[in-house]
């Protein structure tokens, strides 16, 4: 109270000092944000471990006790976990429990038995640090994205959760959109891609977009334009290397003979395919042909020697995009030459 004589100035001064002590420069903030991003993957893993450890190990119920078959017991355990909500989901929505016990076993049948996916060039995937995997897109329905995700999940032990980017159309569809999220797929936008790469994840993208997946069968294995090169920008800003990956076999699952544009416009779709089976056979037309698939990872295009400023340079982006496109096209041609037939 002795300060009273000096007037009201005292209040701001005392606060001014406190303010100075707390001030952080924008650079420090950016550095801290990068540190937070880099530690996020580890934080996520440790949070997962802690949450898994916390899951209650309840006594088996009466149904479980009556089941003798270990497979049935496993199913009973799964159903109980799901009903009680006792499973762990990461903040992107990847539902490990669901993928491990339902999605992956079902899709692995397609991967191993139906399309007999053969993976080459695994040495091109970095064992440490992020990678932006760029693939050719084909096959009317995005089965190639599913198989690419499975290939990384099955063959790259350091990155069991591949993060595929999917276009906005998917995110408006009930059921599918939320299953996709649970499988680790996220929205194709720069914010998500950058965040994941800064965390050190493998991100899968299809730079051709709808132009690639919806192209007529006559143009099979011919790469379309690579959008505006947003994927290169993201790689430049995060310093992640770009790994081109060629997917051979997906073009033949639904040979697209025609495109009914008026119907596509009516349903708000990018294309309305006519394949040997669709729309002639109705839902049966959705059964894909059992082609033989090859997924080959090509030599990575390193961008970390370029500064992040290059992300704003259209010419650099164009050049890198072209280099990736060329490598990818070469991978496709080489594998097509080696292939004896569509089906084996």
Partner 1 sequence: MGQRILITGTSRFLGGMLAKRLESDPDVETIIGVDTDPPLFEFERVEIVRADIRNPLFVKVLQATGVDTVVHANVVTDELEIGRGLMKEVNVIGSMQVLAACQKADTLRRVVVRSSTEVYGSEPDTAAFFTEEMGPETSAKSGYHRDVLEVEQYARDFGRRRPDVSLCVLRYANILGNTVNNPMSLYLGQPVVPTLLGFDPRIQFIHEDDAVEVLVHAAKSDAQGIFNVAADDAVYLSQAIRLAGRIQVPLLPPSPALAAQILRVLPFVQVPLNLVRYLAFGRVSDNTRLKTVFEYEPRYTVLDAIHDFALKKRAERIKPEPAEQQWEDDLRRFIDRKLAEAADAGPGMSHSTHGDRPGGHPDG
Q: With binding defined as CB under 8 A, does residue 51 bind partner 1?
A: yes
Counting residues that bind partner 1 (by CB under 8 A) gives: 47
In angstroms, give the least distance from the CB of 79 to partner 1: 12
Q: Which two tokens stand for residue 114?
A: 């139906």
Q: What angle do CA 144, 149, 150 make, to 5 degrees?
A: 100
57 binds partner 1 (CB under 8 A): no
Q: How many helices (H) and strands (E) does the chain have?
A: 13, 9
Residue 239 CA to chain centroid, in angstroms? Answer: 18
Task: Judge contact between 129 and 158, C-beta under 8 A.
Answer: no
Q: Does 91 bind partner 1 (CB under 8 A)?
A: yes
Between helices 190-198 and 230-238, what is the axis angle to 10°? 30
Say whether residue 52 binds partner 1 (CB under 8 A). Answer: no
For partner 1, the closer CB: 89 or 104: 89
* Calpha distance 313→308 (Å, rounded): 10
Binding flag, residue 224, partner 1 (CB under 8 A): no
Residue whose C-alpha is closest to residue 111's, from 246, 247, 216: 247
205 touches partner 1 by CB under 8 A: no
How far apart are alpha carbons 168 and 147 in whole angstroms? 20
| Cα separation, 33 vs 40, whole angstroms | 10
**DSSP sequence for 242-293:** EEEEEEESGGGSS---EE-HHHHHHHT-S--EE-SSTTTTGGGGGSPP----
In the bound state with partner 1, the residue whose beta carbon lies nearer, of 88 and 311, is 88
DSSP for 153-187 reads: HHH-TT-SS-EEEE-GGGGGSTTHHHHHHHTT-EE
Q: For partner 1, what does the binding mask look like between residues 175 and 194, x meaning CB under 8 A? A: x-xx--xx---xx-x-xx--
| Triad 288, 94, 133: Cα angle to 5° | 65
State the Cα–Cα distance between residues 245 and 135, nearest whole angstrom: 5
Nearer residue to partner 1 within complex by CB, 184 or 229: 184
Q: Of these, 172, 262, 284, 340, which contacts partner 1 (CB under 8 A)?
A: 172
Q: Which of 38, 43, 79, 109 binds partner 1 (CB under 8 A)?
A: 43
One character per residue 249-278, x = contact with partner 1 (rule: CB under 8 A): ------------------------------
Interaction residues for partner 1, span 112-171 (CB under 8 A): 168, 171
Within residues 11-30, the interface with partner 1 by CB under 8 A covers 11-12, 14-15, 18-19, 22, 24, 29
Of 62 and 174, the one with the shorter C-beta distance to partner 1 is: 174
Q: Is residue 195 involved in binding partner 1 (CB under 8 A)? A: yes
Residue 47 binds partner 1, judged by CB under 8 A: yes
- Give the shortest CB-57-to-partner 1 separation in angstroms: 16
Closest to partner 1 by CB, 4 vs 71, is 4
Q: Which residues of this chain interact with partner 1, rule CB under 8 A?
A: 1, 3, 8, 10-12, 14-15, 18-19, 22, 24, 29, 32-33, 36-37, 43, 47, 51, 82-87, 89-93, 95, 168, 171-172, 174-175, 177-178, 181-182, 186-187, 189, 191-192, 195
């Amino acid at each position: 109270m002795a300060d009273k004589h000096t007037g009201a100035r005292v209040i701001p001064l005392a606060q001014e000092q406190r303010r100075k002590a707390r001030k952080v420069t924008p650079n420090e903030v950016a550095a801290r944000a990068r540190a937070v991003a880099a530690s996020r993957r580890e934080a996520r893993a440790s949070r997962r471990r802690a949450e898994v450890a916390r899951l209650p190990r309840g006594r088996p119920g009466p149904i479980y006790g009556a089941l003798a078959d270990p497979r049935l017991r496993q199913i009973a355990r799964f159903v109980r976990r799901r009903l009680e909500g006792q499973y762990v989901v990461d903040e992107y929505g990847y539902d490990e429990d669901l993928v491990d016990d339902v999605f992956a076993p079902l899709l692995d049948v397609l991967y191993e038995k139906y399309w007999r996916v053969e993976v080459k060039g695994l040495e091109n995937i970095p064992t440490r640090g992020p990678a932006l995997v760029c693939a050719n897109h084909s096959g009317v329905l995005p089965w190639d994205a599913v198989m690419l995700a499975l290939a990384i999940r099955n063959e790259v032990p350091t990155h069991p959760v591949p993060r595929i980017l999917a276009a906005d159309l998917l995110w408006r569809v009930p059921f599918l959109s939320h299953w996709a999220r649970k499988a680790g797929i996220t929205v194709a936008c720069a914010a998500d891609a950058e965040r994941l790469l800064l965390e050190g994840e493998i991100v899968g993208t299809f730079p051709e977009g709808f132009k690639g997946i919806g192209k007529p069968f006559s143009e099979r294995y011919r790469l379309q334009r690579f959008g505006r090169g947003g994927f290169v920008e993201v790689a430049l800003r995060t310093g992640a290397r770009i790994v081109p990956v060629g997917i051979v076999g997906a073009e033949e699952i639904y040979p697209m003979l025609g495109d009914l544009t008026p119907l596509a416009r009516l349903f708000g779709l990018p294309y309305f395919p006519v394949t040997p089976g669709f729309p002639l056979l109705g839902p049966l037309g959705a059964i894909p042909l059992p082609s033989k698939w090859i997924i080959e990872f090509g030599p990575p295009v390193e961008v970390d020697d370029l500064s992040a400023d290059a992300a704003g340079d259209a010419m650099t982006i164009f050049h890198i995009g072209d280099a990736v496109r060329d490598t990818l096209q070469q991978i496709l041609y080489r594998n097509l030459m080696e292939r004896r037939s569509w089906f084996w």
